[in-house]
Amino acid sequence: MKKLTFLVLTSIAFFACKTEQKQTTTASKTYTEAAYKQDSTQIKKLFSIALTEGKSYEWLRDLTQNIGSRLSGSEGAAKSVIWGEKLMKEVGLDSVWLQPVMVPHWVRGEKEVANYEFNGEKINVPICALGGSIATPTNGITAKVIEVKNIEEAKKLGDKANGKIVFFNGAFDNTLINTFRAYGGCVAQRFAGAATVGKFGAKGVIVRSMTNGIDDYPHTGSMGYGDIPKEEYIPAAAISSRAAENLSKHLKENPNIEFYFKQSCENLADAPSHNVVGEIKGSEYPDKIMVIGGHLDSWDLGDGAHDDGTGIVQSLEVAYLLKKNNIQPKNTIRIVFFMNEENGLRGATEYARLAKENNELHIGALESDAGGHTPRGFSIDANERNIQLVQSWKNLLAPYGLHDITAGGSGADIGPLKDDYVTLVGYRPDSQRYFDYHHAATDTFDKVNKRELELGSASMASIVYLMDKYLYNKETLKP
């Protein structure tokens, strides 16, 4: 910040020029007028095809409405693997195969129930078990409630938590423009809440749903017990943000509220499942691989439309758009529908393990797992030279609303591929609406806009086209 204001003081232009020149030095190695013309023309074509002949919207309708939710180990997940393999073949990829992987198999059981009495009135609370949680005793749990705002407060509870239900009520910081940052600031309550207070003898944990707004839907998500002893495992659930607001208010008037909740979820033995993989062989470097993917599994409450059905159909549409536009990639383009991102990352881990075992050279990877909303940009996790290279494309991408080309994280499923040479990129659509639906019953097809989805596919195809053409790899990076 200090540096920024200084630069602004001395000259915004100077700062801008420095950046620009760096980028051009990088780009100029590859750039001629003809190349720029060709690239901007190809990108325009990719967008035009996506917006007039795109398939992603109908693919998503089929996945979300004919299969629906796809929690790892579920029948929906198994169906989606067959669906994905069939669709990749229809799109005409050179080869399509399944990668076997064992996944956690957690089941929700019957619908959860929660309520408490306040001023003689019974208040019903929208609640759902967190993925990975154990069940309550058959008759449920009834206990007094102790409210905290974050994990740090919870760590200090000690005996105060004994025999209580610990209520994690830390809300999103709505002043953060990027809602994923607000999520990052709260999600530890959901993931580590139970593991934090189990040792204090707490009877259970209820967590405020991870969302920006005030709604009546519980938003589920993964939690873990880490390495705490089994006897310290306690049930954990999410309650709607409105119920959390009300409970907090009611507790101020009556700290002795007895909260009741009941859930019958269960962790079953690991189940067999698959990553779905298909590729277009590279014309010049068939052994150099670029992965484009999202995750096929979803939570069980909605239809997994934005998380991550959109990433799945956009990833496959990248291949469809390249073929439709007669772009033959130099490197091998591999589309991967990863299994089990939500509660284990087993698919991604297995994909990376096999890549290593088979000495595959991955030069790049692109993931779409931030929803199907209108395009904003890309986040790049790579060596400095490739970060500068990707940022030098900003004039080619800006006409499509892709202005945020920043260094940062990429995606959970491609993360395990990280090394000193691979360029990992995360597609970044607008984040404002995402947590309205995230992990809730409201994550359904009707929340996805056709054009926004297609613009995302074209944005991804455009950067894949440029990465395939220009990316520095292990050899070319050498001075």
Q: Note whether 131 and 224 are within 8 A (CB).
A: no
CB atoms within 10 A of CB 14: 11
Largest CA distance in the chain: 77
Q: Which stretch binds a copy of itself (CB under 8 A): 18-26, 140-148, 183-191, 287-295?
A: 18-26
Rounded Cα distance between 284 and 287, Å, is: 9
Q: Given the complex with a copy of itself, which of 44 and 160 has the nearer CB atom?
A: 44
Q: For residue 475, which phi and psi values (nearest 5 degrees)?
A: -75, -55
Task: Determine, following the binding rule CB under 8 A, whether residue 209 of this chain makes contact with a copy of itself.
Answer: no
Instruction: Rule CB under 8 A: choose which of 3, 33, 110, 122 binds a copy of itself.
Output: 33
Does residue 208 belong to the site contacting a copy of itself (CB under 8 A)?
no
The C-alpha atoms of residue 398 and residue 462 are separated, in whole angstroms, by: 12
Q: Which one, 353 or 403, has the nearer CB to a copy of itself?
A: 403
Q: Is 118 exposed, middle or buried (0-12, 13-18, 19+ CB in 10 A)?
A: middle
Q: Does 41 bind a copy of itself (CB under 8 A)?
A: no
Among 30, 31, 355, 361, binds a copy of itself (CB under 8 A): 31
- The Cα 252–Cα 269 span in angstroms is 43
- Residue from 3, 52, 120, 357 in contact with a copy of itself (CB under 8 A): 52
Question: Is residue 449 involved in binding a copy of itself (CB under 8 A)?
Answer: yes
Q: Which is nearer to a copy of itself, 352 or 397 (CB)?
A: 397
Q: Which of residues 217-236 bind a copy of itself (CB under 8 A)?
A: none
- Beta carbon nearer to a copy of itself, 265 or 463: 463
Q: Fill in the per-residue mask, 364 to 393: x = in contact with a copy of itself (CB under 8 A), - = not in contact.
A: ---------xx-x---------------x-
Q: Using CB under 8 A, which of 65, 254, 283, 395 touches a copy of itself?
A: 395
Q: Report whether 69 contacts 300 (CB < 8 A).
A: yes
Q: How far is the CB of 304 from a copy of itself (least distance, A)?
A: 20
User: Would you give the binding string for a copy of itself spanning residues 401-420, x where CB under 8 A is met?
Assistant: x-x-----------------
Residue selected from 436, 442, 443, 464 as contacting a copy of itself according to rule CB under 8 A: 436
Phi, psi for residue 25 in degrees, rounded to 5: -55, -45
Q: Are 308 and 294 in contact, with CB atoms under 8 Å apart?
A: yes
Q: Which of 47, 183, 260, 465 binds a copy of itself (CB under 8 A)?
A: 47
Q: Is 379 in contact with 428 (CB distance < 8 Å)?
A: yes
Residue 65 as a binder of a copy of itself (CB under 8 A): the answer is no
Give the integer Cα–Cα distance in Å for 323 and 64: 25
Tell me the pairing of strands 285-295 and 258-262: unpaired
What distance in Å separates the CA atoms of residue 277 and residue 128, rounded to the nearest whole number?
Answer: 33
Q: Which of 36, 118, 233, 285 binds a copy of itself (CB under 8 A)?
A: 36
Closest CA to 172 of 219, 125, 134, 109: 219
Sheet holding 423-429, edge to edge: 95-107, 266-280, 331-338, 285-295, 361-367, 423-429, 375-381, 404-407
Per CB under 8 A, the list member of 350, 369, 413, 452 interacting with a copy of itself is 452
Cβ-contact 116, 260 below 8 angstroms: yes
Residue among 158, 184, 213, 409 that touches a copy of itself (CB under 8 A): 213
Ranges of beta strands (E only) in 57-140 are 95-107, 113-118, 121-124, 127-129
Rounded to a whole number of angstroms, the minimum distance from the CB of residue 386 to a copy of itself is 18
Q: What's the token pair of residue 345?
A: 């990352």
DSSP letter (8 states) at residue 232: G
In the bound state with a copy of itself, the residue whose beta carbon lies nearer, of 291 and 405, is: 405
SS3 215: coil
Is residue 59 close enough to count as binding a copy of itself by CB under 8 A? no
Binds a copy of itself by CB under 8 A, chosen from 268, 398, 407, 477: 398
Could you say whether residue 341 binds a copy of itself (CB under 8 A)?
no
Q: Pseudo-torsion of CA 137, 142, 147, 151, nearest 10°? A: -10
Q: Assess 358 for contact with a copy of itself (CB under 8 A).
A: no
Site string for a copy of itself, 70-99 (x = CB under 8 A): ------------------------------
Radius of gyration from C-alpha coordinates of the chain: 24
Separation between Cα atoms, residue 314 and residue 457, nearest integer Å: 5
CA atoms of 297 and 281, how far apart (whole Å): 26
Report in angstroms how near the CB of residue 399 gets to a copy of itself at its nearest: 7
- Least separation in angstroms between residue 36's CB and a copy of itself is 5
3 scored as a contact of a copy of itself (CB under 8 A):
no
Residues lying near a copy of itself in the complex (CB under 8 A) are found at 5-6, 8-9, 11-13, 16-17, 20-21, 23-24, 27-28, 31-33, 36-37, 47-48, 51-52, 174-175, 177, 179, 212-213, 373-374, 376, 392, 395, 398-401, 403, 430, 432-433, 436, 449-452, 455
